[in-house]
A = this chain, B = another copy of it.
Amino acid sequence: MTRIGILLFDQVEELDAVGPWEVFGMWARACPEEAELVAFAREAGPVRAAKGLTLHADRGFADVGPLDVLVHPGGAGTRPQLKDADHLAWVRDQRERVPLMTSVCTGSLVYAAAGLLAGRPATTHWGSLDLLAELDPTIKVRRDDRFVDDGDMVTSSGISAGIDMALHLVARLAGAERARKVRRNMQYDPQPPV
């Protein structure tokens, strides 16, 4: 059983969280013996996301329980986190406990500020690539990658890239056939019209 936690916080970018949620949710619904999904935040309850939607965390840090995968989304709410000693300490503690740490968009800035990306390849939203390098000059910034799988650390580029990263993780954790089924059920045959 893979237990996946998606972190919510004030000013989280909606699709950063809900893109992976949909992908992992499809997997968990089809194969409840394989995967379980939980939305959590520092405290259980509502958070106001970056584009104004209110999302609800079912668990808080205190009762979320052990996770196999953590997804740290991005959004405007990551900016205060970069200087929030409590949040950075929590992130470092998660690195000790959670085998697979992942981020969407500017979530990787928080990992960088916490020191988790030292000497490692990583990416982020195109608009924050320079900031990622400034936060930790030892990071091997991958400017052109949709996501970067570095084993126990997987980072993705901006917002919608979380969908591709999550599909990759389903393939890695449960096989390509399972991931293809999720993709088909989401009818994820994107055709950007502009």
Contacts and interface: CB of A to CB of B under 8 A. Distances in A.
Copies in the complex: 2
A158 B186 contact: yes
A68 to B, nearest CB: 17
B192 A183 contact: yes
A25 interface: yes
B51 A53 contact: no
Chain A interface size, as a band, is 35 or more
A40 B18 CA distance: 18
15 contacts: A21-B53, A25-B52, A25-B53, A37-B52, A53-B55, A55-B55, A159-B185, A159-B186, A160-B186, A160-B188, A167-B193, A170-B194, A183-B192, A188-B190, A188-B192
Interface of A: 13-15, 18-19, 21-22, 25-26, 28-29, 37, 39, 46, 50-56, 58, 105, 125-127, 146, 157-161, 163-164, 167-168, 170-171, 176, 179-180, 183, 185-194
